[in-house]
Structure 1
């Protein structure tokens, strides 16, 4: 019977003796970390050794596989949308309206996440008509209604949430951030993921291939979320038909360089950010840059789902969206 100490030794024996964990070992390490009574010293040592070494795709696949086995059962979604960028948000979470567009097309969308001290995402969910599920049962009910739903990580898996929270103790990000993005708790055939550091795009794509996923798009998105900048080329890594796939999408707008953080509509306005999301959806607020972010992000999500001519489909959805206050 193995212990966390065994896995710490595997990673930390020193030059010439230390090695990466294989997928089976990584899965065992995650099960041990999630178990009640896991020694905090061993958990911290293992997470920091992985960070110093650099995680491999088999390690991420094994960790994510074991973490998912600890989750409650959910009905299958069509699109998995992890949302784990914590702090330093780059502005209004426009991608929430993109997720609503995808759901409006009849696709079952499950968002899940935690955003640390940055409250912009959760504050924007109501304005985007994306319900926050207080538990797995509520998530099941909302998905059955065909509406997008957001499942907080602290509700989805409290022990994994505790591991993610160790960032404040250790002072550094750990592989748990990547593992959370790879959870796919509703077993969707398609997933869209944003990263802050470009090197993680290929790591997550390779781990997804090991897990047998069929369709995935990973981009360096706004603040680390799956949100496409319309004024820049967009390198995309992932899977199509279960095989490795990558492309570079051309810019959607011809414009001077501009950050997403200063691209939020209503600059100088006293209106709270959630009201801006609602105003954009209703057409009371017009902002070509923000609309291009929403439509471009939705188009890439639709492409991941296998929709033909996703850019035109996303534009049609935006033009045909209901302009009322009802969810």
Structure 2
């Protein structure tokens, strides 16, 4: 089937053009991901949506179709989905990786997934995975196995969805990001019951929360975080949006530090991530980033007293390393 009818829906002209319904978005994305999709029509749809602004129904429909294209997850679902797709140009080191490792140590399996190889050397998420002991499996089967063994894995987008990877790379042709960036954050490939998501632009917080509700997610926290990742600035009390028991929810992050600092003011040499995790280096600001981010993720997963739990896990980690 041609994509032309879907282009016409978006581009009929003033007073006649409209957004996709969720069902139309599902069918459009199903065609977009097919090998026969006309690339000019794909580009037209993505840029028309960018011009008008995406709706929750469109994002949910696209994400549902992309998830169907993946097939069933080959193992037990993790407790928490953690997408990481930000470009990272305005952030420092990916401290949230330490937070994810801390959450996993609480018995909350975490699936990280993303595309980060475009980040600058030194701030790259993928460069930090190996030194931090976070597996980067080469297939969904291997990721499911790593989650069962370690409770934590990072699954590259190009490994589990080459089609979405191809759509993201259209930015090199079109010169602009598209709604595919948001769709990837909503993908939840292993169908976890809870998710954390970062955004760079505040308007996307409610959009992603509304789309997640349409996708029947139970618990979600969306944060305007460091460079667009789910990473909390501990000296700021930031508004957060999402879902609790499938219903819209809003809150505040809290402000554990009284300081005037930027996330980029934390240590910037790549070795600092491992050094702070192992206790070879101390930095109160970096530690506060890790703990406050972990507490938000633990709360999203339904863990009681998340701040105290994060602190206890951090202290237990130090005792284990010293033993």
2:179 is aligned to: 175
Of residues 300, 305, 313, the one that matches 2:309 is 313
| 1:260 equivalent among 257, 263, 272 | 263
Match of 2:86 in 1: 85
The counterpart of 2:274, out of the listed 260, 274, 278, is 278
SS of 1:70 mapped into structure 2: helix
Alignment of structure 1 residues 16-165 onto 2, 5 Å:
16-74=15-73, 75=75, 76-118=77-119, 119=121, 120-165=124-169
d(CA) in 2 for partners of 1:324, 1:279 = 12
1:236 maps onto 2:237 in alignment: no
Count the aligned residue pairs: 316
Q: Give the match's secondary structure for 1:311.
A: helix
What are the within-5 Å matches in structure 2 for residues 200-239 of structure 1?
200-239=204-243
Q: Is the Cα–Cα contact under 8 Å of residues 130 and 149 in structure 1 kept in the other structure?
A: yes
Q: Deviations over 1:3-48 (max 9, x none)?
A: 2111000000110000000000000110111000211100000000
Residue 8 (structure 2) pairs with residue 5 (structure 1): no
How far residue 127 of structure 1 moved from its aligned partner, in angstroms, is 2.0
Name the SS for the 1:145 alignment partner. helix
1:107 to partner: Cα distance: 1.0
5+ residue gaps, structure 1, are none
Q: In 2, Cα distance between the equivalents of 1:211 and 1:41?
A: 29
Query: Is residue 87–residue 116 contact of structure 1 (8 Å, CA) maintained in 2?
Result: no
2:283 alignment partner, one of 287, 295, 301: 287
Query: Over aligned residue pairs, what C-alpha RMSD do you find?
Result: 1.3
Distance 2:57 2:137 in 1: 31
Residues 127/249 of structure 1: CA separation in 2 closer, same or farther (3 Å cut): same
The TM-score with structure 1 as length reference comes to: 0.94
For 2:181 and 2:47, the matched residues in 1 are separated by 13
Preserved contact between residue 217 and residue 237 of structure 1 (Cα < 8 Å): yes
Shift of 1:73: 2.9
Q: How far is 1:281 from its partner?
A: 0.6
Preserved CA contact (<8 Å) 1:130 1:147? no
Shift of 1:121: 0.5
For 1:188 and 1:241, how far apart are their aligned partners in 2?
14
TM-superposed CA distance for 1:72, in Å, is: 4.2
Where 1:321 maps in the other structure, the secondary structure is helix
Contact 1:106/1:146 (CA < 8 Å) preserved in 2?
A: no
Structure 2: tracts of 5 or more residues without a match: none
Deviation at 1:315, TM superposition (A): 0.6
* Partner SS state of residue 239, structure 1: strand
